[in-house]
Structures are given as C-alpha cells and as structure tokens.
Chain A
Amino acid sequence: MPICAQANPALEAVIADNLEGLERPSRLTVEPLVAQIAGTGPEGLALLQAWSERQLGLTEDGRAVIIGDDDTATDAVTGQPVPEADPQMLRPNSGVRGVIESALVAGALNDPDPARRRAALESLARGGTFEQLTALRGALDDLDPALAARKARLERLLTIQVGENSEARVTAIEDLAGDVSLDFRAALNPLLVTRRVVATEEPQGNVAREIAIDSDELPREAAIALLVSEGVLEPRLTSAEQRAALAANLSDGTVGGVPVADLSDPDARDRAYEALEDAGTVPPAATEAEVQAALDAHRVYELYAEPDPAVTEAARAAQIRAQVRLGAMQGIDLGLDALSLASIYFLAAIGLAVTFGVMRVINMAHGEFIMMGAYTGYTVQTLVSDRTLSLVAALPLAFAVTFGAGVVLYRLVIRHLAHRPLETLLATFGVSIALQQLAKNIFGTQARPLTAPAWLEGSITINDVISISSIRVAIFVLALLFLALFLFIMKRTRLGLEVRAVTQNPGMAASMGINPDRIAMMTFGLGSGIAGIAGVAIGLFAQVTSEIGQQYIVQSFMTVVVGGVGNIWGTLAGATLIGGLSKVIESFNPGNTLAAQTFMILFIIIFIQFRPRGIIPQKGRAAEA
C-alpha cells in the first residue's frame, strides 16, 4: 500500500460527497463513482484495490480507512495510521467488485508509465476475470510495440480461460494451436484437469473417458483405494492390523474358535477374523469377496473440471499439437546436447587416437594428462586474476606442459616397450596412479574451481525448450578448431607426411631417411598436448580433482575403439556415436545416468561384435600389425 504523507484533497472530497454510494453501491451507480475515485491519483487506486478486496471500512466520522493484513488501520486519504479505529467494513457484492477490478486494470493498462503497464500485464498473466478481460480488450492499443504484442497475446490467453462463450474460447485456442510457449501450455492445462469418479453408470458432466480397472493406468490396488476413499467399500485390514485385532481377542489359546498355532496361515486368520466379526467384537472389514463384488459393480470415469465439451475437445487437440511440436524441439535440444558431449569426447580422445594409431600403444596415463591440463588452468588462474587473460594464457601453457610430460614419458618408458603393447598399457597405468597421487599431494583432495570468464557464462536461448550453455558452444568450436588443425598438420606439413609414413610402414619409412623414433616422440607429445587442452576445456564445466581424468578415460578408449584406429574421421564418428547415444539413452530415463552409461557400454560391446575394427577400419598392410 502506498504510504503518502501528503493528503489527497480531491479524494477527500469525493469520499465526503459519496458516503452513501460507498456504503450501499449498486451495479448501476457505482461505475461513475469508481471512475471518479480512480481519477484522483494513486491514493484513489489504493482505495479501490482495498475496496474490491473487502479491506475498506468507514469510521463514525466519515473517514475511509484501509485495514491491512495485520489488522492495522490506515487513513485512505492521508496514508497516516489510524489508532483505535473501529470502522464499519464495506462488503461490496461480486458485481461491484467486478466493476472495480476492471476499472483498476483499465487504469493500470492505460497508465502513461510503461513499467506500470507491464506490471499490470504481468499480474493479468497469472490469471484474470471476464471483467479484466473486457478492460484489456479496451486497452489493446499501445505505443510500445512490445507491450502491444504482449497485450494481444494476453487477450487470447485470457479468452481461453474466461472468454464470454464457448465459440470465443475455442477460436482463441485454435488461434494459438501449435504454439509451444510455456504460457500457452499453462493456459491449456487447467482446462484439461480431470478427476476420477466412481459410478455404477456413466455420470453427468463432461466425461473425458472411462478407465479400465486392473489396467496399467489403474492397478487393482489403486482401484480399491479409490473405492474406499469414495466410501463405497469398507477399508481392508492390513496384515498388521488384522494380527493386532486377533491378538487382542485371544482366549484359551484360540481366536474365534481357531487354534493359535494355525494362525500362521492367512486363510485361517481370515476365518478367525470373520468369526470375531460375526460375534460383533471387531469392526467389519471388507473380505476379498466383498472387494471383488464392489470392483465388479463399479466403473471409473475421468471427468473434466471444465464443463464445456467443445472447449475441452479443442484444448485436447491443441495440446496434442503442442506436444508433437514440443517433441520435435526437444529432439533438437537433445541433438545440441549430444553434439556438445560428442565434442568433449572428441577432444579427450583425439590424443589417445593419435598415439594408438601411430604406435599401437594405449596410454593409460592419458586421463592424467587431461588432469594436468586442468590443474595448469587452475594454477594460471590463481596467478592471473583476469579470467579471459588467464584462459588465453592457460591454453598454450597446458599444451606445453603436457607436451613435455608426454615426451618425457615416451623417452623414459614407452620407447623401451616398443612392440609390447600390453606391457605399455601396464607401465603407463603405473604412471597414472603415481601422477594421480602426486596431484593429490600437491593440490589436496578437494575440488578446485576453474572459473570461466563472464562472457562464457550464461547460455544461448532460442526458445522455452532449446537452449545451450555458452561454454559448451565454445568447446564445440574448440573441437572443430582442433579437427581443422589436426587435418592441416597431417595433410599439409612435413611432420604429417612423416607420421603417415611411419604409421603405414615404419621399416620403409626408416629406410627413406625418416627417424621413426623422433616421429613417434613428436606424435606422442602432440597427442598428450591436445589432452592438456581438453583438460582446460573440461575443467571449465567440471570440478578439477585428481580423478577428473578417470571420468573421461574409459569413454575416450571407447571412442577410439568404436571409431577405428588411425583415422581422425573414425575418432570423430566414434565420439559422435558415443556422445549421441549417451544422450539418447539418458533421455529415455532422465535422472538415471548410471543406467544410461551401463546400456551404452553394453551397446558398444555388442557393436564391436559386428565391426571389430571400428566404424572406419584401417585398411592395407598397416592393419595387420
């Protein structure tokens, strides 16, 4: 309520002139009075508001006071508190209240201040009466085009809810059908609310349909519960209640003539209880036969709360259309999600694919290179406070750090284990657990944040359904960049030529003057460096811990295995397949990511049956190695 120290003489005058009209308003006389009061300014509007909410009273000396929710009285004219007021409360009937409300809405909708007009529209969007709808229809013109559009839309939505007749409402529904916005769906929902009714024959009212008892929708137990709650069936006893009742009527080692020792049998318990029921010692309870009879005698119907069948029919049709379109949009949203997950897997797996393709070596420490990259990003961020700058610095630095680590790993370990891929797998695993523990010793066990710069926070929203966070878009772009960079290196540079030569035939390459050892080292460093960059990217949306690499390593392996070795397009296909599949399976059962991952891995195991060498298998002599 606006508290205003200044008195409002115009309002004071109107009240003084119209005490009678305020006390006993009639539908015919009240309209000019309301218009007069509304014209006096904000105090007048506050008074009208209080009047329509039955919070306005008149004191003995002819002052109008507003009673707040906490029972304090305020003078409607001056805004000053009125202590010890004992006003006579005004009780306008619904017709009068309708006039006041539409006047209030019309006033607010035509207010010169656009913020007020917007606020009025927002309050209308939460629901309104037919009078408010009429007021809205009178105020559709607006200088602000956005507000005018909003008004037009609200007029349609309100017509759906409280339109003057069936035709108008159906027309409004059909006008908007196909729209998937939240507000339209919210306007349809109340029309389609149903309740379940038990009856012996088809009931009066707007029947949606009959529900079969003992179906998936209405299991037997639920139907019994419904019958009980409708009062047509006595409640059945639970096992514990029956047992307690029997125990209370135990005498001479028998209950109702049945020996206690027999009562471990449910049928004997029923017999004993019925004997007690006949004797009148326990309240009656439904037996199985009574339950079945009641179920046979009754049918269950769903009734619309909305009485008009034409409206519910149109709403149902519109809802189905909305759901179909919604499904399509959710599909697009799912596709975007899958694409971003795929680009993460691609970034994480590309380094692994490179080393595996060239050297047939699975680097189990690859996940730890991802972790090193993420921690590099975190360390840079603690030194450079500007988020954008630190990210720009972290990317090449992470590449350098993990490139170095990869080269060292190659020189010290992997080179000595050439042609023994399983040993390499184990040795690099040793490196992996050592690096993980080392990271724990240095950075501690708690998760470290790697905060994205402000321009990467937030998300790109297309409509109510489709949106994608900016970080994921950035990672997608990064993945594309790396694909391009990788293709450039492999197809357009001397290094790429030599790598391809070594991959295809190391012996021949060596006899052509290429040093396979140096090439292998460079490739290993390159693959590890990309893992470091992937680490920074992953760290931006996941918490950086010493286990961050472990979460991606199995998926990366899968990506490489599914995609096929020695071909960047294979890795891309593998990442797309695994990313897409994870999201699709997850969408069937949202919230249960564990089940989704399980099914995805099972799918991959089966997939390998049919394409053991991956989607894009390596061809030629190199494949035999």
Chain B
Amino acid sequence: MTRTPFILRTPSTLIVLAVLAVFTLAVTLLSAAYGTGAIPTSMVKTLGMTLCLALAAVAMDLVWGYLGILSLGQMAFFALGGYMIGQWLMYARTEGIVAASLSGNPIPFTPQELRDGVTNQIFGVVGSAELPMVWGFAHSLTLQLILVVAVPGLLALVFGWLAFRSRVNGVYLSILTQAMTLALALWLFQNDSGFRGNNGLSGLQNLPGLDHVGQARLSVWFLWASALALGLFYVLAAWLVSGKFGSVTRAIRDDETRVRFLGYPVEGFKLVVFTLAAMITAIAGALYYPQAGIINPAEMMPIASIYLAVWVAIGGRGRLYGAVIGAFVVSLLSTWFTGGRAPSINLPGYVVNWVDWWQVALGLSFVLVTLYAPKGIAGVFDLIGRKEDRA
C-alpha cells in the first residue's frame, strides 16, 4: 500500500505555493527592472523583506503554534543571521574600496596594509585599531554562509538544552527567551563587542562585485531568493508537521507531561524544533538585511520578537499559512499606517492622525483578536471550509 504524498494531503500547502508563485511573478512583471515599473524599487524591497518576515513567522509558528513554546527571542536569531551575512558583505565591499585606493601608489600593497585599511574603514567609528576576533572568517563568503546557520543554531541548541533540561516551561520560558534576547542586544550595543556597537553594520545593500547590476535588478533577485526560501521552508515545515513528528509536537503542546509518560523524549523533540526554527529564522534574516541595507542591535530588542508573536497570533497560529498571512497583513499595514500616507480621520474636535494612533489601534485590535478570535485571520478559512462541508 502506498501512502498518499503529503503534498496532496495538505492542499493548503499547494495553495500557498501557487499564491507565492503568482505573487512573485506579478511583482517581477510590475518591477522597474523586468517589467512595467508600476512598482518602484523601494516597494519591491519592502515586499521582498516582507517575504523574509513571513518566513520568520513560519518558524515562529513551528515553535509556538505546534510546540507550545512562546519564544520571545526569535528575532535574535533573525538578527544574528543578518549580522553573519552582513560581516561578509561589509568586509568584502570595504576590501574592494580599500584595495582600489591603495592601488593608486606605485608600490603594491602588502596583505597587512590591506587588512589595516579595511579595519580602519570599518572600525574607525568605534575607535578600534584591530580587527576583532569575531571577524576572522569575514573574508570568506562560504564560511560566513555556514555561520549564518551555525551561530544561531548553536545558540538555540545550548539555550534550549539548558532550558528544556531543567523543565523550564510556560511563562517562565517566555521570560527566559526574552532575557536571552535582551542580553544579546545589550552585548552588541557595546562598542567593544566587535560588531560596531549601536552603529551596526551598514551599506549591506551593495553586493561586492555587483555594483554594475544596479539596485533595481538586485531588489528583484532578492525577491526571488526570498520567495524561493519561503516556499522551500514552508514545504519543509508543512511536511514536518503533517506526519508522526508533527503529531508528537502537537501532543507536547497540549499535554507535555502525558507525552513524557508515554515514553517520548520530550526534550529531544523540543530541542530539534527549537533549533531548526532558529536556523530557518536566521536564513530569513540573512536574506532580509541585504535588502534593508543596515542592521543594528536595536533590531533584536525584545519588542521585535513580541511583534513577531503578534503577527502569528493575528494570522492564526497552529497553521502555517496563518503565520504567512499575519506577517503580510500586519507588517504591510504597519508600514502603510506609520508611513504617513494613510488618510487622517476628521472627528469633530479632533483629527485622528494615523502616525500617532496606529500603535493604539494595533494594540487594541490585538487584544480583541486574542479575546474573541483566538484562531486569528486563518480562522475565517475554517468558516468557509465548514460551509462547503454542509453543502
């Protein structure tokens, strides 16, 4: 007896992939580089970044919706991925610039002179004359790409092992993940942490050696890469949660003690999902920050991770497409409302300016969603499905 392939058992995965493909194609055809130019390059970047955020939300949903761990530290992994790729982007690009300026001298430069020049360019701003140890691999794209998943993965593994081993769970675990994120952010804020303190890494939108391509085409390439990553990891996540593994994680979410008594290694399951989610989030971050162009420690303050949880909750947790919907709807709405382009509402005696009131509306709508629509926006699809069943 052959089992039905999982992709046919989960039609929602097919639908998401189809929508993603159509979306990517549509944006490409409307972009300035490969189409009509109806969507400006900055908007293409925003959409590409939103795809990355959606990927982070999918990872968050794996951890929260399917495993029951409300991790308030996911954006730490996201930013770490960004930092790792940012190191190479900044180093390689600065190396090119310094090499060009040193070539003006008749005497060829020594490797040491090149390294000193790069160090001075990157770290002059924090008053450091030596290349920090953590930049030891920055010259190599391959090594930094490995670090993109290795560093956040290792952090998640160690932290998760410590936390799950001592049976920290529920609210305690949430607070602990938040503390971890805060500790990391505070450490990065120091000038002598080796990551340029609160200046962060900048100029990441310029790919070394690709200056001739132009931002218009680069933005579309990154959109494709982000869409590909989202599609790929969505399928991976959907496959993971559809089988026996997914059943166990959901059981852990619903009653951890009972699963443990049934003989399942609960800590192992948690650790695998937590680490995997951290790695996926880091990849999302590595794709996000070259589009954003700049990364600094403020990006990983606990508030960012809480927003991620908010998106998943509004989208509907416990289903992967809910996470994607939540990330898209809330982050794009936030961009629109806080960008100052949303029309103000003229009430008698007071003008509601959305730049000032969007946060209030978001906070309150979040309370309402939690209270009255715990399934989030994705819950609407349940209603449609039920009607079809009846018909």
Hey, which bits of chain A sit against chain B, CB under 8 A? Answer: 239, 243, 246-247, 250, 255, 260-261, 263-266, 269, 356, 360, 362, 413, 416-417, 421-423, 425-427, 429-438, 440-441, 554, 557-558, 561, 592, 594-595, 597-598, 601-602, 604-606, 608-610, 612
Contact = CB atoms under 8 A, between A and B. Distances in A.
B21 interface: no
Interface in B133-185: 159, 162-163, 165-168, 170-172, 174-176, 178-180, 182-184
Contact of B108 (A261, A360, A435): A261
7 contacts: A250-B106, A417-B371, A429-B366, A432-B363, A595-B190, A597-B183, A608-B172
Nearest to B366: A430
Contact of B370 (A426, A557, A561): A426
Given A434-B360, A438-B360, A561-B172, A422 B186 contact: no
Contacts of A265: 110
Contacts of B216: none
A601 B370 contact: no
B179 A605 contact: yes
Contacts of A604: 179
B362 interface: yes
A491 to B, nearest CB: 27
A431 B108 contact: no
Given A246-B107, A422-B170, A429-B366, A601 B357 contact: no
B84 interface: no
Given A260-B106, A609-B162, A427 B370 contact: yes
B366 A427 contact: yes
Contact of A426 (B166, B170, B313): B313
Contacts of A246: 107
Interface stretch (B12-20, B31-39, B201-209, B302-310): B302-310
Contacts of B171: 356, 360, 362, 421-422, 425
Contacts of A610: 166
B346 interface: no
B238 interface: no
A422 B190 CA distance: 32
A392 to B, nearest CB: 33
B179 A601 contact: yes
Contacts of A598: 183-184, 186-187, 190
Contacts of B165: 609
B112 A437 contact: no
A366 to B, nearest CB: 12
A602 B176 contact: no
A592 B190 CA distance: 8
Contacts of A592: 190
Given A426-B313, A429-B306, A609-B166, A594 B360 contact: no
Interface in B339-391: 356-360, 362-367, 370-371, 374
Interface in B93-131: 105-113, 116
Nearest to A263: B107
B90 interface: no
Nearest to A596: B186
A228 to B, nearest CB: 19
Contacts of B362: 430, 433-434
B contact residues, range: 35 or more
A494 B362 CA distance: 41
Contacts of A554: 178-179, 182, 302
A265 B112 CA distance: 9
B274 interface: no
A443 to B, nearest CB: 12
B367 A430 contact: yes
Nearest to B369: A430
A266 B110 contact: yes
A605 B357 contact: no
Contact of A431 (B111, B179, B184, B363): B363
Given A413-B367, A429-B366, A437-B357, A605 B176 contact: yes
A423 B370 contact: yes
A247 B310 contact: no
B107 A441 contact: no
Nearest to B116: A239
A561 B173 CA distance: 10
A612 B306 contact: no
B189 interface: yes
A430 B364 CA distance: 6
Contact of B107 (A243, A362, A432, A597): A243
A29 to B, nearest CB: 64
Contact of A436 (B183, B358, B359): B359
Nearest to A602: B183
B176 A608 contact: yes
Given A437-B360, A601-B183, A264 B110 contact: yes
A265 B70 CA distance: 56
B367 to A, nearest CB: 4
Given A427-B366, A438-B360, A264 B176 contact: no
B106 A612 contact: no
A440 B367 CA distance: 20
A427 B165 CA distance: 29
Contacts of B116: 239
Contacts of A432: 363
B367 A595 contact: no
Contacts of B310: 426, 429-430
Contacts of A609: 162, 165-166
A608 B159 CA distance: 12
Contacts of A606: 162
Contact of A597 (B170, B186, B367): B186
A269 B110 contact: yes
Contacts of A425: 70, 171, 174
